[in-house]
Amino acid sequence: MKGRIFRIQRFSIHDGYGIRTTVFFKGCPLRCIWCHNPESQKFEREICYKAEKCLSCYECVEACERGAITVGNDEMDIDRERCDGCGKCVEVCRGGALELFGMDVTVDDVISVVEKDRVFYESSGGGVTFSGGEPYFQPDFLLSLLKACKSRGISTAVDTSGYANWEVMEKTLPFVDFFLYDLKDCRSDRHREMCGAGNELILSNLRKLVDAGMEVIVRIPVVPGYNFEEGDFECYFRILENVGVDRVDILPYHSLARDKYRWLGREYMLEMPKMAEKAKNTATEFAEFLEKKGLRVTLGGYF
């Protein structure tokens, strides 16, 4: 059993209880315009190019057998349609300007990293969080990893958008201790515009998880002018109340992913003047609103 990931982050404190190891899956069915992990969206392996680190040796041009890397006007260009993500250019890059997002690993490969931090899980109440991308985009690999962790007594969490077939999610329930569940927008038409699909399936699966007795912590990104407008505090609360969720983590927008888009040759569509400041203020007001409604609220991923 092999799967494709793009990073394993150790000593994470933002992805669930205690100290955790977060395994980031590659591939996602949604395309949220505020995505802070653009390297996770495509399942295919991708080359990122950090021009500021380039030594202009151009050994990568010679190494690329598909002719996907060219140089013009002293600037390097990557034809991403031609690139197959083989990584040979990365191997010869002496300046660290090229990086490959996406590596194929076995369950044992992942578990060998996870096991290194077992002592921290035990002392902090932590464990492993499977994130992405979307973990359920690779359901068989996710299920195998969950089973491997549970057989070793390691706590598990799944960070999901909920945009998956319920039958696929249901198979994993015996092996998941809790879910971090993204509620990206309370309005389906806007969700379709901002993320590429409506939120009906997401809300349906959220209710089913709660009805199944699973612990679910809903995570709501706050992006003013995109998924938050006047009256939306109440809109989000009605969903949470109707489903029966009482634990919410509010994530204010930040622009830390801006460079990632540039490295991947994509345009960063979202940034606006003072957007981060507006998001922080709105997130604080939203947190206070939900707390007054009786919900348990954390701000910014801290547990």
Of 64, 80, 101, the residue that ends a domain is: 101
Q: What is the CATH number of the domain that holds 61?
A: 3.30.70.20
Is the same domain home to 203 and 95? no
Residue 193 burial (CB count, 10 A): 14
Q: What is the CATH number of the domain that holds 147?
A: 3.20.20.70
Of 101, 118, 133, the residue that ends a domain is: 101
Please state, in angstroms and rounded to a whole number, the distance separating the CA atoms of residues 128 and 143: 13
Is the same domain home to 117 and 24? yes
Is the same domain home to 92 and 163? no
Q: Give me 299's structure tokens.
A: 């701000």
Is the same domain home to 8 and 60? no
Is the same domain home to 239 and 138? yes
DSSP structure class, residue 225: T
Is the same domain home to 66 and 182? no
Is the same domain home to 8 and 129? yes
91-115 per-position pLDDT tens digit: 999 999 999 999 999 999 999 999 9
Mean pLDDT of the chain: 94
Domains identified in the chain, total number? 2
In Å, how far are 42, 44, 75, 140, 205 from 165, measured between CA atoms?
19, 22, 45, 13, 8
213-271 per-position pLDDT tens digit: 999 999 999 999 899 998 999 999 999 999 999 999 999 998 888 999 999 999 888 87
Domain residues for 66? 46-101
23-81 per-position pLDDT tens digit: 999 999 999 999 999 999 999 999 999 999 999 999 999 999 999 999 977 678 999 99
Q: Which of 248, 268, 250, 249 is nearest to 258 (CA)?
A: 268
Is the same domain home to 162 and 261? yes
Is the same domain home to 51 and 123? no
Of 101, 119, 145, the residue that ends a domain is: 101
Is the same domain home to 66 and 87? yes
132-143 per-position pLDDT tens digit: 999 999 999 999
The region that residue 301 occupies, defined by phi over 0 for left and psi between -120 and 50 for alpha, beta otherwise, is left
Is the same domain home to 16 and 65? no
Is the same domain home to 135 and 277? yes
